[in-house]
Amino acid sequence: MNIPDPGASAAAAWRSWKKRLEPYQRPDLRRSTIQLANSVIPYVVLWLIAWRLLGVSYWATLGVCILAAGFLVRVFIISHDCGHGSFFHSRRANSLWGGLTSALVFIPYYAWRHEHAVHHASSGNLDRRGVGDIRTMTVREYAAASRWKRWKYRMYRHPLVMFGVGPLYTFLVSYRFWPPNATRRVKISTVRTNVGLLLLAVGVSALIGVKAYLAVQLSIMAIAGAAGVWLFYVQHQFEGVYWERTEDWDFIRQAIEGSSYYKLPKVLQWFSGNIGFHHVHHLSARIPNYFLEKCQREIVALQNVKPITLRTSLRSLKFRLWDEDRNRLIGFSELRSCAHGV
């Protein structure tokens, strides 16, 4: 890995990176406006088309919902960038459009923004797991857990739960409540989002019917949620991922080695808002999504990061636990070969 001056202090290394990353951290109002328009407008139009097709066939509606879900993922990326303050120069514009776009994904903007900021500050740190991440137990923790806790963990990590029931529960239920010790802003954001979503659901249901509203909205949310959770999953659950305890944890290494470079086909890269360049994003969350690829292409050190593809990313499905002795993710099937296996 071509990290600048390995012998330098962490502060010196970070100063070197900051200097190289700074040119890509300037939002382009034109590009942001175009992305906002070509994401939100198609989503709304496709939503209406999906509703109209219910009179023809639900399968026709489902086909349109798949496409609408792609645009909803793109809408989420906008709210994500706004949360990092990277989509617009103006803080007010980021808050306004971040709030509106996150509501389309059923997420309270300030609650999610805080949770995600914690994730960026703690990703790859074994001592700071539990906020804004995919829950991952170590082999020792799993070995010491009761049978009930092991069973719950196995259910949580099962693909049908992780990418099926889980996303719907997270976006439709979990985000309706604020977390413990939430700030006043987070609480207000949660209440406002809930009230807004309720009014929208009641209003749309009054116009087209409750069943029609649920048929379209739940279908889109289920597909977009599964895609979104999968993207987040492979960003930090892949072969060779970096995890360390606090005393050995390094911000630059967790970004470059602990966040994946998910090389997707161009059409999927577009729908996912370039978030596959996740190693770049974790180095600097202030880079707008539309400059991530340019940054990766022009900084040589970032080009040395080995990409994962659609095919190789499927290997991540087997990963369930972190083995501290071998410093890698393993599946449940490998437990017997561990010193602390069960």
132: alpha, beta or left? (left if phi > 0; alpha if psi -120 to 50): left
Q: How far apart are CA 191 and CA 199, in angstroms?
A: 12
How many CB atoms are located within 10 Å of the residue 224 CB?
A: 25
Which residues sit opposite 261 in a β-bridge? Answer: 277
Q: Which two tokens stand for residue 140?
A: 């020792």
For the chain, give the number of residues: 342
What separation in angstroms does the CA of 78 have from each of 4, 82, 211, 275, 300? 31, 6, 29, 11, 27
Largest CA distance in the chain: 67
pTM for the full predicted model: 0.92
Q: Domain-by-domain residue ranges, the chain?
A: 10-337
What separation in angstroms does the CA of 160 have from each of 165, 209, 224, 317? 7, 30, 15, 11
Digitized pLDDT (tens) for each residue of the chain, 342 residues in all: 444 444 457 778 888 888 999 999 999 999 999 999 999 999 999 999 999 999 999 999 999 999 999 999 999 999 999 999 999 999 999 999 999 999 999 999 999 999 999 999 999 999 999 888 899 999 999 999 999 999 999 999 999 999 999 999 999 999 999 988 889 999 999 999 999 999 999 999 999 999 999 999 999 999 999 999 999 999 999 999 999 999 999 999 999 999 999 999 999 999 999 999 999 999 999 999 999 999 999 998 898 889 999 999 999 999 999 999 999 999 998 887 665 556
Q: How far apart are CA 183 and CA 108, in angstroms?
A: 13
Residue 145 backbone phi and psi in degrees, to 5: -75, 155
